[in-house]
């Protein structure tokens, strides 16, 4: 009953703001997910084969379902989705295969107004339903990318750090490796140099296991050109760790970041970020550089909402401007959304 | 009251020969017949020896149609959690040694580590030529290992044999496979990545947990296990 009361109240509040409550298809083609996320997500799909050997899965996530619905049925313009339904994933013995998911998405626009609309809507709706104050944490993960670009690092390392920002445990491992320079093995490298000269004499556009010889040699040359010293690695690792500790009131965010720039003699190019212009109704907003690291698909603004008195996560979301394309849209379609942490709401 | 214990042994290859030798060294005599898949330990209590595929021994121990068995540690670890939780590893044995590793074509001289592989996987993704394909007979262990090392953009190609040729027949780009000396890999122009060791395996004695909980069988199984010593 409690569950129904909360879900109905939230969906009604979303509906009042022009969101359309949608039901999605239960089954999706597994290939769509695998092409996007590789094996990491495939592992958690509850999938099966049909008589033709085609693989299907129970829908694993309703944000993905909303995106697929937009691609198939809506196709253009701004569409505001709201939903409360079940999603299904393997949990490897931890928890239920069925998850209730309640959320809303705005697909089809990158307008800053929509960023604040969705954050304010979810936040204010939650406050009404739980009858308590909330705290919002805000971040724009592009500021981290800008930090990485400003550091003296081989380009390979820049990409690596950006790609794995959303996997905190592995990211920490990377930072440790950056400090110790442990990813190079000199004796093997010398042996490979001999092969390099041999391969130079071969036809450069011949392929070996899917890669052209000139590609392999080019990347090898790049590795030779980009050695980095341990000393620099230690400094860079410290800057990154310090950056990820920045946590302040949202109003002071720009100033705090400027101080950080000055202290570390770097340029974060803060003028390009519109996150600081967000007009939030909640005056207890916090800026934290360490949030938004739970989903690979976020591309910019991210937020988390907590019940203030218990520090309990109630919702999280963010902008995902590349997801539509990776799910099969022919053009780039911007989107933002948020999911209510329904299990935590029921604990209240 | 069923006191018959069922023992699963590998039905072919070196693992079968070594298993029979191991029982013999421990003075437990099994009659081996090349064609009959059923036998018994002649000088032990009521028992039945079933010769099965090593992979199947793991599954039959999990569903309790076998009580004790010898199989590869790699095969146990590759099993799904629901199977593993029903099996106890009694001991690792001094034979059947092999490593599960990640190997890339020798000519990929720019790839030394999994971190390099991760970059290559994004090259494949960015060029829209599909995912980096990894051929393997061990999809679960491969996934767990690669994901823990930061590799996410790849696709598993399930292989049933001759995995080493997959990268050169356009069936995959790289492989994970079991190797004991590395010679077959070398002969097929593959090399193991510096940090590409997934698992060190050997033969092991496995016991069905359900059988250990069966008061009619428990003591007989313990008796048998006491006789089976690494020598």
pLDDT digits (tens, 9 = 90+) for A274-315: 999 999 999 889 999 998 877 788 999 999 999 877 778 999
In whole angstroms, how large is the CA radius of gyration of chain B? 20
Tell me the CA distances in angstroms from A297 to A89, A266, A300, A320, B149, one per residue in order: 18, 27, 10, 6, 20
Put simply, the answer to whether B119 touches A159 (Cβ < 8 Å) is: yes
Q: Residue B168's CB: how many other CB atoms inside 10 A?
A: 14
A 52-111 residues inside an 8 A Cβ radius of B = 92-93
Query: Least CA distance to A38: which residue of chain B?
Result: B153
A184–chain B nearest CA distance, Å: 8
Chain Cα centroid distance, residue A112 = 18
Residue pLDDT tens, chain B, 231 long: 567 899 999 998 899 999 999 999 999 999 877 778 889 888 888 889 999 999 999 999 999 999 999 999 999 999 988 899 999 999 999 999 999 999 999 999 999 888 889 889 988 877 767 789 999 999 999 999 998 888 888 989 999 989 999 999 999 999 999 998 889 999 999 999 988 999 999 999 999 999 999 988 999 999 999 988 876
Superfamily, domain B98-201: Periplasmic binding protein-like II (3.40.190.10)
Q: Worst-scoring range by mean pLDDT, A212-216, A243-247, B150-154, B207-211? A: B150-154
Whole-angstrom distance between the N-terminal and C-terminal Cα of chain A?
14
What is the rounded CA–CA span in Å between residue B175 and residue B197?
Answer: 12
Helix axes A253-264, A230-243, angle to 10 degrees: 170
Q: Which residues 6+ apart lie within 8 Å of B153 measured at CB? A: A38, B118, B121, B122, B124, B125, B131, B132
Cβ neighbours of B45 (radius 10 Å): 12
Stretch 107-166 of chain A: residues touching chain B, C-beta under 8 Å: 156, 159-160, 163-164
Domain boundaries, chain B: 5-96+203-227, 98-201
Q: Which two tokens stand for residue B10?
A: 């590998």
Contact of A37 with chain B, judged by CB distance below 8 Å, is answered with: yes
Determine the residue of chain B that is closest to A159 in CA distance.
B119
Nearest to B105 among A159, A209, A296 (CB): A209
For the stretch A144-189, pLDDT in tens is 999 999 998 888 889 889 988 988 888 998 898 888 765 555 556 6
Is pLDDT larger for residue A196 or for residue B88?
A: B88
Q: Which residues of A touch B154 (CB under 8 A)?
A: 38-39
Kindly state the tokens that stand for B58. Answer: 């793991």
- Residues of chain A in contact with residue B156, where contact means CB-CB under 8 angstroms, are 39
- Mutation target for A interface from B104, B107, B132, B165: give the one with most A CBs within 10 A: B107
Residue A316: helix, strand or coil by DSSP?
Answer: strand
Mutation site for B-interface testing, chosen from A33, A35, A36, A38 by largest number of B Cβ within 10 Å: A38
| Closest residue of chain A to B111, computed from CA coordinates | A220
Q: Look-up: residue for tokens 């064609």? A: B35
Helix (H), strand (E) at residue A21: strand A20-21
Question: With bands split at pLDDT 50, 70 and 90, how would you rate the model's confidence at A83?
Answer: very high
Q: Average pLDDT over chain A, rounded to whole? A: 88
Helices (H), chain A: 2-16, 30-37, 39-42, 62-69, 112-130, 141-150, 155-163, 168-180, 186-200, 213-225, 230-243, 253-264, 323-326, 342-347
**What does DSSP assign to residue A70?**
I
Q: What are phi and psi of A135, to 5 degrees?
A: -120, 140
DSSP A108-124: S---HHHHHHHHHHHHH
Query: In chain A, whose CA is at the least distance from the CA of B174?
Result: A209
pLDDT at B1: 58
Bridge-based pairing of strands B5-10 and B68-72 is parallel
**Which residues of chain B lie closer than 8 angstroms to A195, CB-CB?**
106-107, 109
**Spatial contact of B60 and B75, defined as CB atoms under 8 Å apart:** no
Q: Pick from B106, B108, B143: which is nearest to A39 by CB?
A: B143
Tokens of B79: 């099993």
What's the 3-state SS for chain B?
Answer: CCCCEEEEEECCHHHHHHHHHHHHHCCCCECCCCCCCEECECCCCCEEEEEECHHHHHHHHHCCCCCEEEEEHHHHHHCCHHHHCCEEEEEECCCCCEEEEEEEECCCCCCCCHHHHHHHHHHHHHCCCCCEEEEECCHHHHHHHHHHCCCCCEEEEECCCCHHHHHHCCCCCEEEEEECCCHHHHHCCEEEEEEEEEEEECEEEEEEHHHHCCHHHHHHHHHHHHHCCCC
CATH code for B5-96+203-227?
3.40.190.10
What does the alpha-carbon distance between residue A231 and residue A234 come to, in Å, rounded to a whole number? 5
Q: Which chain B residues are within 8 Å of A183, Cβ to Cβ?
A: 112-113, 115
Across the interface, whether the CB atoms of B173 and A211 are under 8 A apart is answered: yes
Q: Which strand ranges, in their side-by-side order, compose the sheet holding A285-288?
A: A20-21, A79-88, A98-107, A335-340, A312-319, A301-307, A134-140, A285-288, A247-249
Cβ-contact B76, B84 below 8 angstroms: yes
Cβ–Cβ gap A209/B120 under 8 Å? no
H-helix or E-strand containing A301? strand A301-307
- CB-defined contacts A:B, below 8 A: 97
Residue of B nearest to A169 (CA): B148
| Cα–Cα dist A208/A71, whole Å | 37
Half-sphere exposure (Cβ direction) of A30: Cα atoms closer than 13 Å: 22
How high is the pLDDT of residue A244? 96
Topology agreement, domain B5-96+203-227 and domain B98-201 = yes
User: Among all chains, which residue has been given the structure tokens 């590795």?
Assistant: A223
- Distance to chain A for B154, nearest Cα, Å: 5
Domains within chain A, CATH numbers bracketed: 2-24+59-135+286-347 (3.30.930.10)
Q: Is A211 on the interface with B (CB under 8 A)?
A: yes
Query: A46-75 pLDDT, tens per residue?
Result: 999 888 889 999 999 999 999 999 999 998
């Amino acid at each position: 009953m409690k569950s129904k009361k909360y879900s109905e109240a939230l969906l009604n509040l979303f509906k009042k703001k022009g969101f359309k409550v949608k039901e999605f298809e239960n089954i999706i083609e597994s290939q769509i997910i695998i092409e996007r996320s590789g094996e990491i997500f495939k592992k958690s799909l509850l999938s099966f084969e049909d008589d033709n050997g085609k693989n299907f899965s129970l829908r694993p996530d309703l944000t993905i379902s909303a995106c697929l619905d937009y691609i198939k049925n809506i196709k253009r313009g701004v569409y505001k989705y709201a939903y409360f339904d079940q999603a299904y994933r393997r949990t490897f013995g931890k928890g239920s295969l069925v998850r209730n998911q309640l959320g809303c998405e705005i697909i089809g626009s990158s307008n800053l107004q929509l960023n604040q609309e969705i954050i304010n809507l979810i936040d204010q709706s939650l406050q009404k339903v739980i009858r308590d104050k909330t705290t919002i944490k805000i971040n724009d993960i592009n500021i981290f990318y800008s930090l990485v670009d400003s550091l003296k690092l081989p380009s390979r390392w820049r990409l690596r750090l950006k790609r794995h920002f959303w996997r905190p445990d592995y990211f920490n491992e990377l930072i440790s490796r950056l400090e110790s320079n442990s990813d190079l093995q000199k004796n093997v490298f010398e042996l490979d140099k001999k092969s390099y000269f041999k391969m130079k004499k071969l036809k450069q556009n011949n392929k070996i296991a899917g890669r052209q010889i000139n590609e392999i040699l080019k990347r090898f040359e790049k590795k030779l050109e980009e050695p980095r010293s341990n000393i620099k690695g230690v400094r860079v690792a410290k800057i990154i760790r310090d950056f990820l500790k920045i946590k302040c009131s949202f109003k002071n965010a720009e100033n705090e970041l400027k101080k950080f720039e000055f202290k570390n003699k770097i340029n974060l190019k803060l003028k390009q970020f519109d996150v600081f212009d967000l007009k939030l109704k909640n005056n207890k907003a916090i800026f934290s550089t360490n949030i938004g690291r739970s989903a690979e698909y976020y591309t910019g603004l991210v937020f988390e909402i907590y019940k203030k008195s218990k520090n309990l996560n109630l919702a999280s979301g963010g902008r995902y401007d590349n997801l539509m394309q990776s799910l099969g849209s022919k053009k780039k379609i911007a989107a933002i959304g948020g999911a209510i942490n329904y299990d935590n709401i029921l604990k209240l | 009251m069923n006191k018959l214990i069922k023992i699963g042994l590998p039905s072919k290859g070196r693992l079968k020969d070594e298993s029979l030798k191991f029982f013999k060294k421990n003075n437990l005599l099994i009659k081996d017949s090349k064609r009959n898949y059923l036998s018994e330990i002649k000088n032990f209590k009521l028992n039945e020896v079933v010769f099965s595929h090593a992979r199947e021994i793991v599954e039959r121990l999990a569903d309790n149609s076998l009580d004790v068995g010898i199989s590869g540690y790699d095969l146990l670890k590759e099993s799904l959690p629901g199977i593993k939780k029903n099996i106890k590893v009694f001991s690792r044995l001094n034979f059947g040694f092999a490593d599960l590793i990640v190997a890339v074509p020798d000519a990929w001289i720019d790839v030394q580590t999994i971190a390099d592989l991760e970059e290559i996987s994004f090259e494949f993704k960015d060029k829209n030529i599909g995912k980096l394909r990894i051929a393997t007979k061990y999809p679960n262990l491969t996934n767990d290992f690669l994901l823990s090392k930061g590799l996410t953009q790849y696709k598993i190609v399930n292989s049933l044999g001759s995995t080493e040729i997959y990268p050169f027949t356009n069936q995959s780009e790289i492989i994970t496979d079991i190797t004991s000396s590395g010679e077959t890999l070398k002969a097929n122009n593959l090399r193991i990545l510096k940090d590409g060791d997934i698992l060190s395996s050997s033969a092991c004695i496995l016991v069905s947990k359900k059988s250990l909980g069966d008061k009619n069988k428990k003591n007989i199984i313990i008796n048998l296990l006491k006789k089976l010593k690494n020598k």
